[in-house]
């Protein structure tokens, strides 16, 4: 159950602070910039 939430939090949750990207998408975007 905790693993499901961690997966949701990192891969599915959209944040307005990161311009609508998930945390993983934002991290990947920041690393390529």
pLDDT tens series, the chain, 33 aa = 999 999 999 999 999 999 899 999 999 999 998
User: How far, rounded to the nearest angstrom, does the alpha carbon of residue 17 sit from its chain's CA centroid?
Assistant: 11
Please tell me the total count of domains within the chain: 1
pLDDT given for residue 9 in this prediction: 95
Phi-psi region of 17 (alpha: psi -120 to 50; beta: other; left: phi over 0): alpha
State the Cα–Cα distance between residues 3 and 29, nearest whole angstrom.
Answer: 24
Q: Whole-model pTM? A: 0.69
State the Cα–Cα distance between residues 1 and 16, nearest whole angstrom.
Answer: 25
pLDDT given for residue 33 in this prediction: 80
CA angle 24, 11, 26 (to 5 degrees): 25
Range of the domain at 12: 2-32
């Amino acid at each position: 159950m905790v693993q499901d939430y961690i997966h949701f939090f990192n891969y599915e949750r959209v944040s307005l602070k990161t311009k609508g990207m998930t945390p993983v998408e934002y991290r990947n975007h920041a690393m390529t910039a």
